[in-house]
Amino acid sequence: MSDASFTPEDRSHAQRLMDGIYWYGIPTLFRAPHDADPANADIGLVGVPHSTGNGTTQRDQHLGPRAVRNVSAIGRRAHNAFEIDPWDMCRIHDLGDVPLSEGNNNERSIEMITDYYKAIDAAGCRPVSIGGDHSITGGILQGIAGSHSTLTGGEKACLLHFDAHTDAFHNVEHFMGAIKSAAHWASYLVRDGHVDAEHSVQVGIRGNVRSLDWLDPSYDLGYTVIKKTEYDEMGPERVMEIIDETIGDRPLYITFDLDCLDPMVAPGVANIEAGIEGFGIDQVMQLLRSVRGKNVIGGDVVCLMPTVDSPNQITSYRSMAVMFEILSLIADAHHSA
């Protein structure tokens, strides 16, 4: 084809094709334009390279955002189940990474994350984030949920929390020195008025317990807890009914710890629970899609460990796929509003 016959339409088609090639171009999240100003976006994609809130396993979770940026262009697709193209429906930008200049100080980092997300909330931009360990969710929701929040209209947020662990262990004073840690965020966010536990669901909880009362803190706070064994017994339809009934039409935040997936599905995660089979990818996709139409204010994917992933980077790809589901839920609701 000569230059004379290469029309603007041809160039646009060629660019769209190349934007879906992971090894081409600048590795922003999903090949979205990089724009640090949340006021210019309806959905803001954010990296949170933080790993000092979880000290019991390898500490490479701060490498998660870069790993997903490297592969996520292939996820820039239309959504078959919803029959939408989120990239044409919303302004979706990569806002960059939270600048954690004091990354070895967990408590200071959580506050820096909160300050960063307060600006996103003030702009009315809905964030979809890639971590980072699970302590980042505490920092994020301090910034975008509660009485000061634009995105929730001053309400608390409800959670759809996918995890092998409840992360509500306020009965433990600290987690190897970290106070607002990966083990505490689901508790202090409730006590501090950012999360409505009575209308939140923790799903996929599994593993051999460290104490026989390990679920009591979640129950005391008011969470609905669905263990993986209970999911298997009830079946997905009943679990989706519980999720719908519990959350209703309240502001919803989705937090997805990759360790809810079985290690055969997602090997590159922290805190793997290998004694009880975890979710398959189709199971979590079904649960995620069940909240279509709800007021999803944002979400995150956490605990990716690229340094222990398989050679084909499957856990990074799983992370990308879950992020795509969350941003598609937001885009779909935004377009229908």
Q: What is the pLDDT of residues 192-233, one digit of tens each?
A: 999 999 999 999 999 877 778 889 999 999 999 999 999 999
Long-range contacts of 77-86 (CB under 8 A, 24+ apart): 77/20, 77/324, 79/324, 79/328, 79/332, 81/289, 82/289, 82/292, 82/328, 82/332, 84/328, 84/331, 84/332, 84/335, 86/43, 86/327, 86/328, 86/330, 86/331, 86/332
The per-residue pLDDT for range 95-140, each reduced to its tens digit, is: 999 999 888 888 899 999 999 999 999 999 999 999 999 999 999 9
The per-residue pLDDT for range 73-93, each reduced to its tens digit, is: 999 999 999 999 999 999 999
Distance CA 121, CA 123 (A): 5
The first and second tokens of residue 14, run together, are 């060629």
The per-residue pLDDT for range 265-295, each reduced to its tens digit, is: 999 998 889 899 999 999 999 999 999 999 9
Sole residue written with tokens 């940026």: 69
Expressed in angstroms, the distance from the first to the final Cα of the chain is 44
Nearest to 166 by CA among 250, 227, 80, 83: 227
pTM: 0.94
Percent of residues, the chain, with pLDDT higher than 90:
76
pLDDT at 236 over 90: yes
Q: Which domains, ranges and CATH numbers included, belong to the chain?
A: 3-336 (3.40.800.10)
CA dihedral sign of residues 279, 215, 295, 27: negative
